[in-house]
Amino acid sequence: MRFTRFLSSTISVLALTCAAQAATITGSVTGPDGKPFRAAFVQAQNTKTKVTTSVLSQNDGNYHIKNLPAGDYEVRIKAPGYQNDQTSNLTIKDDAAGSKSFVLKKGKVSWADLSFQQARVLLPEAPGKSTLYNSCFACHGFETRMYGRGFGLSDYQDRVSYMMTTMHYFLAGRVSEQEQKDVANFMNDMFGKDSKLPKSPEDMPKYGEIVHAPWSDEALKIVYTEYEMPTPSSMPWSAVEDKDGKFWIPMYGAANRIARLDSVTAQVEEFTTPHEGTAAIHSAYPAPDGSVWFTQQGSNKVGRWDPKTKKISEYQDAYLPGKEGTTAGGSKHTLRVLPNGEVWSTGSPLTRFDPKTEKFTSFDEVPSVYGIAYDQKGKVWFAEYTPQGIIGMADPQTSKVEKYAPPTRGARARRIVVDDKGVVWFAEFAVGKVGKYDPVAKSFQEWQLPGSAPTPYAFEVDPKGFVWYSSEHQDVIGRLDPNSGKIIEYPLPYSENTMREFFKDHQGRMWYGTPANNRVGYFTLDE
């Protein structure tokens, strides 16, 4: 009966929301040659809520931004290699339409327009580059934090020092003093005010090799709706829906907060964890009782937000002796709450937390693990982000662990999900594949993803059975049809997506966080 009432009220809210969101902004995009311009992003931002909707111009140059709430909007255009300074202010009412057309002027591609992989190809080899890519770019890239700041060498040295302190739990023992100097020098030479690079990557000899092929007509159907975080540099890692239709957001690094988003009003309420130092909240997940649990990678703790008091309690797991305060000594990474209330966390190692006894149980046979999911029987599935790339299953009833090796070695399985049929899907980050494991048939199947560095990270299966992934290094979102093997790549309205997890909501919309851009949002297809 509770579910029936919830469903009824949800339908009523959706009906009211849809009725109120009937306004439209339309227009056309024309290139410098006077011809229709396809695949330019047109963005409409509500000036009050700061919610931004992004669509692409179609083959005829036209675009349609649908289902907008009445209000004041700033409409702008983004197309790499063209001047993006055109904006227009529109006021639209319910059931009304606003219009704005754009004529593009030729410009230059910016270094900030590039993906990780494109820049890896173009940036010259020098001391500091490998450290930057292998350690610093684990959380962000250069586009939003290093490029275009007008920094000098001393500024970059300060930033390196700051990161070594703030991210000590992760960087300790990984980056030597000499490597720190090399990173600062490299950033200064590449991105500083006296950069040795050409002003535009278009002027680099290998630029033609890194340009993405024209987007397919199907790719132009994607629509992004995004919410800005109220606090700068919050590093929102993901967004997952609770039973009341609100979305919970873990904020990574030194932000030390979780947040609750009302997607209708765009209001964000933040809650600070008591931890002093860098909590590095990596994952948040609502529990059946209305509480929200989250992991602190920087402190090897799990936390619980109480829905009655709105206060946070923390629970400390033990470190390995001599490795306190580092991920090598213990960490909490991605978390799920089972229907019985147990809290399971990946990291170092796989752990189970019983809220009743407030005790952790470690699975030492799973010493380093990344993704986690549970199936309809309550069994916990995990992906080991190790050179072996093993996936496995832990039985909460018996504590027995079974492991299964995918066909491709060195896959570094990262995210893992279980669909409504009990089939296990996982992202093979290092080899750029989507993997499938059928627990009944005990068989594997793999699909190779396109591009030179597909690096699938955020990962989910939608209600229609399509498998979605974000490419960490290529700045695209992809959709695999397992039945046909067809893969569609979709562009993003900015570089450095850094998406960590996908979560589908009750409407089937796919939610994500983009930490580098300080936003959360969802995407749909205008079909």
pLDDT of amino acid 294: 98
Are 189 and 195 spatial neighbours (Cβ–Cβ below 8 Å)?
yes
Instruction: Please give the C-alpha separations between residue 271 and each of 61, 251, 257, 307, 523, in angstroms, as whole numbers.
Output: 44, 10, 5, 11, 26
Residues 354, 377: Cα–Cα separation, whole Å: 19
The structure tokens 């206060």 sit at 311
* Kind of pairing between the strands at 97-99 and 23-30: parallel
Phi, psi (5° rounding) for residue 6?
Answer: -65, -45
Residues 345, 340: Cα–Cα separation, whole Å: 15
Kindly state the tokens that stand for 469: 């992934």
Tell me the pLDDT of the chain (527 aa) as tens digits.
Answer: 333 333 333 433 343 344 445 789 999 999 999 999 999 999 999 999 999 999 999 999 999 999 999 999 999 999 999 998 888 999 998 888 899 999 999 999 999 999 999 999 999 999 999 999 999 898 899 998 899 899 999 999 999 999 999 999 999 889 999 999 999 999 999 999 999 999 999 999 999 999 999 999 999 999 999 999 999 999 999 999 999 999 999 999 999 999 999 999 999 999 999 999 999 999 999 999 999 999 999 999 999 999 999 999 999 999 999 999 999 999 999 999 999 999 999 999 999 999 999 999 999 999 999 999 999 999 999 999 999 889 999 999 999 999 999 999 999 999 999 999 999 999 999 999 999 999 999 999 999 999 999 999 999 999 999 999 999 999 999 999 999 999 999 999 999 999 999 999 999 999 999 999 999 999 999 98
Mean of per-residue pLDDT scores for the chain: 93
Which CATH code is given to the segment(s) 2-103? 2.60.40.10
Residues of the chain with CATH 1.10.760.10: 114-210
The structure tokens 């955020």 sit at 458
Residues 180, 224: Cα–Cα separation, whole Å: 38
pLDDT of amino acid 21: 54
**Signed CA dihedral, 282, 284, 285, 291: sign only:** positive
Residues 198, 462: Cα–Cα separation, whole Å: 43
pLDDT of amino acid 8: 37
Closest CA to 61 of 105, 25, 101: 101
**Residue 515: strand, helix, or coil:** helix
Residues 37, 32: Cα–Cα separation, whole Å: 9
**Signed CA dihedral, 254, 258, 262, 263: sign only:** positive
Give the helix/strand (H/E) hosting 118.
Answer: helix 116-122
Amino acid at 358: E
Kindly state the tokens that stand for 347: 């990291």
Instruction: Please give the C-alpha separations between residue 56 and each of 46, 53, 216, 502, in angstroms, as whole numbers.
Output: 18, 10, 12, 22
Each residue's pLDDT tens digit, 24-75: 999 999 999 999 999 999 999 999 999 999 999 999 999 999 999 999 999 9
Residues of the chain with CATH 2.60.40.10: 2-103
Kindly state the tokens that stand for 401: 């662990």
Amino acid at 38: R
Amino acid at 312: I
Each residue's pLDDT tens digit, 248-291: 999 999 999 999 999 999 999 999 999 999 999 999 999 999 99
**Signed CA dihedral, 105, 106, 111, 117: sign only:** positive
* Kind of pairing between the strands at 503-504 and 510-514: antiparallel
Which CATH code is given to the segment(s) 114-210? 1.10.760.10
Residue 485, class by beta-carbon neighbours within 10 Å (0-12 exposed, 13-18 middle, 19+ buried)?
Answer: exposed
Phi, psi (5° rounding) for residue 207?
Answer: -60, -40
**242-369: in CATH 3.20.20.70:** no
- Per DSSP, the residues of 404-434 read E--SSTT--EEEEEE-TTS-EEEEETTTTEE
Closest CA to 98 of 77, 80, 71: 71
Closest CA to 163 of 250, 248, 235, 238: 235
Residues 272, 504: Cα–Cα separation, whole Å: 26
Residues of the chain with CATH 2.130.10.10: 242-369
